[in-house]
Amino acid sequence: VTLASIVERETLTDEERPIVAGILLKRLEAGWPLQADATLQYAIASVNCTLRKETSAAQSVKCEDWWPIPSSEDKKIKSLYNTYLNRGLPPGPIANPGLSSIKAVVSPQDSPYWFYLHDGNGKIHYAKTSEEHAENIRKYLQ
């Protein structure tokens, strides 16, 4: 369920989910950090959000932005949910995964890819090597 929650937040379409699930599982099996922005966003928001008493009977979480765009400085945040610093899965789900994300983790798609990113228009770009991924970052995110 934890990996499916990451797939849910890391993808935009059902078609992407099995490929991204395969990439993340491949990284786990290789002992790589997942380096999933969605888990980093969760870590950032968890640190930035505070509990605030609304009534004498209940408390609720108040936060301006639960899914902030991470910076390179954010990648240093100390949190078990920071999959840039920590290997393996975070301690729990970061979202409620849909059925397609759960199915993607159960039946991931094999691919030659190790990296992926979404450009500003939401289109996903895959890469086989860190060099190709760096080029995708340069082309689509800078």
Distance CA 19, CA 142 (A): 24
Q: How confident is the model at residue 142 (pLDDT cuts 50, 70, 90)?
A: confident
Contacts 24+ apart (CB under 8 A), 54-62: none
Record the pTM. 0.88
Surface-to-core class of residue 23, CB atoms within 10 Å of its CB (0-12 exposed, 13-18 middle, 19+ buried) = buried
Helix (H) or strand (E) holding 24: helix 16-30
pLDDT given at position 41:
92
The model's pLDDT over 15-53, given as tens digits with 9 standing for 90+, comes to 999 999 999 999 999 999 999 999 999 998 887 775 443
The domain segmentation of the chain, as residue ranges, is 2-21+33-109, 112-142
